[in-house]
């Protein structure tokens, strides 16, 4: 019996891989699904393909717009992505695990040497600049784009999800949010391009928050870590869920085939390191005044493809 700690994207992907290989699995998930979660809910087309057969029905997303105070770079996605709420997606994954015979325990589990560790980001106490994520769903007209509005080191993403809703999700410095009493409506009203975009939309849920956020590899020293428990990529890349599916599946395979932890970690590093390096270059570049003009010249493959796991 393999224990999987955490039942979201990475944990469920690992469990499904093990179940398909005939292994018995118990998933420990400490929260009750379905539940909303702070996430842009942009599911990369490759992740949709890897989760194939799950009947993921969300909103179709075919293009990206990167916007820096009026300078815009728009391009078609190499393959259509899906906008789907974590409320629906994580529940669908849980149902699939249970349908294939996995045991689902709604309680906290403990990471150990033989376990698949998919508990997501660990809380970290970062000193200095702390970033927080926020998200809410809106009603109103929808399109087929994921639009990212950059503001300093932060951004706000806008994209459709199922049911004709629009997800508005972003990252900002704690001090900026504190200055408006964590009133995200007020915060976004102060950014003219975002405010204009949200003009015809009406918020349909309270703002949710998460943080502080820490980007990069995580020091998880036991078991087979996957997803955000292994490393947390800059959310503006919209590739975190893809990374969780890819590394979750790999962790399932590694345990099923009896790989040593070191071998598994090496394979993960090969897959993730280039995307991490490129994402961190892009994050640092966000503050350079010339970057919007440079981005306009860059091919989509560089801006999008290079930030994804190999
Ligand atoms: C602001 C923001 C926007 C983002 N936008 C996007 C986006 O648009 N597209 C994208 O692809 N990615 C996005 N991401 C990243 C994405 O949300 C994560 O990469 C993804 O959720 C990782 O999945 P995971 O399964 O590893 O972890 P999680 O989704 O965090 O799941 C971990 C699960 O483990 C459970 N758990 C924790 N501890 C225990 C325990 N001890 N026992 C049992 N259960 C436990 C938790 O309850 C949780 O359900 C965004 C992230 C942020 C912060």
Residue 119 Cβ contacting ligand 1 at under 6 Å: yes
Ligand 1: which residue has its CA nearest to atom 29?
A: 8
What 3-state DSSP class applies to 172?
A: strand
Find where tokens 């009947």 sit: 55
Ligand 1: which residue has its CA nearest to atom 26?
A: 227
pLDDT surpasses 60 at 125: no
The arithmetic mean of pLDDT across residues 69-90, rounded, is: 92
Q: Is 65 exposed, middle or buried (0-12, 13-18, 19+ CB in 10 A)?
A: middle
pLDDT in tens, 131-165: 999 999 999 999 999 999 998 889 999 999 999 99
Residue 169 Cβ contacting ligand 1 at under 6 Å: yes
pLDDT in tens, 191-237: 999 999 999 999 999 999 998 887 766 766 799 999 999 988 888 88
More confident residue, 91 or 125: 91
What tokens were used for 309?
Answer: 């796991």
E strands, 174-238, are 202-203, 208-213, 216-217, 224-225, 231-232
Residue 178: which residues within 8 A CB-CB, separation 6 or more? none
Q: What is the distance in A from the centroid of ligand 1 to the CA of 1?
A: 24
Residue 48 Cβ contacting ligand 1 at under 6 Å: no
Question: Domains in the chain and their CATH numbers?
Answer: 2-124+213-307 (3.50.50.60)
Of 69-73, 183-187, 205-209, 251-255, the poorest mean pLDDT is in 69-73
Is residue 296 within 8 Å of 73, Cβ to Cβ?
yes
Cα 283 from Cα 59, distance rounded (Å): 27
Q: What is the distance in A from the centroid of ligand 1 to the CA of 175?
A: 24
CB atoms within 10 A of CB 118: 34
Q: Which atom of ligand 1 lies nearest, measured to the CA of 40?
A: 8
User: Which pLDDT does position 53 carry in this prediction?
Assistant: 64
Q: What is the mean pLDDT of the chain?
A: 91
């Amino acid at each position: 019996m393999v224990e999987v700690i955490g039942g979201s994207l990475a944990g469920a992907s690992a469990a499904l891989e093990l179940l398909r290989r005939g292994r018995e699995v118990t998933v420990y998930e400490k929260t009750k699904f379905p539940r909303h979660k702070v996430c842009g809910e942009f599911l990369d087309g490759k992740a949709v393909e890897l989760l194939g057969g799950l009947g993921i029905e969300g909103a179709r997303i075919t293009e990206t717009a990167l916007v820096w105070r009026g300078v815009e770079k728009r391009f078609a996605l190499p393959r259509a992505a899906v906008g789907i709420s974590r409320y629906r997606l994580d529940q669908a994954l849980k149902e699939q695990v249970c349908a294939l015979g996995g045991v689902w325990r709604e309680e906290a589990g403990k990471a150990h040497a033989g376990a698949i560790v998919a508990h997501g980001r660990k809380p970290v106490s970062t000193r200095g600049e702390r970033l927080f994520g926020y998200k809410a769903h809106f009603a109103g007209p929808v399109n087929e784009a994921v639009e990212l509005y950059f503001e300093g080191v932060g951004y706000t993403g806008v994209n459709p999800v199922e049911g004709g809703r629009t997800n508005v999700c972003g990252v900002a410095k704690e001090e900026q949010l504190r200055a408006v009493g964590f009133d995200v409506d007020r915060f976004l009203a102060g950014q003219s391009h975002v405010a204009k975009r949200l003009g015809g939309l009406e918020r349909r849920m309270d703002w949710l928050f998460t943080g502080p956020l820490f980007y990069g590899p995580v020091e998880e020293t036991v078991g087979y870590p996957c997803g955000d428990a292994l490393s947390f990529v800059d959310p503006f890349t919209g590739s975190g869920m893809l990374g969780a599916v890819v590394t979750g599946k790999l962790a399932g395979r590694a345990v099923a085939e009896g790989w040593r932890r070191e071998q598994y970690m090496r394979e993960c590093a090969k897959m993730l390191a280039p995307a991490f390096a490129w994402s961190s270059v892009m994050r640092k570049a966000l503050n350079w005044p010339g970057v919007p003009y440079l981005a306009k010249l860059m091919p989509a493959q560089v801006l999008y493809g290079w930030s994804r796991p190999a």
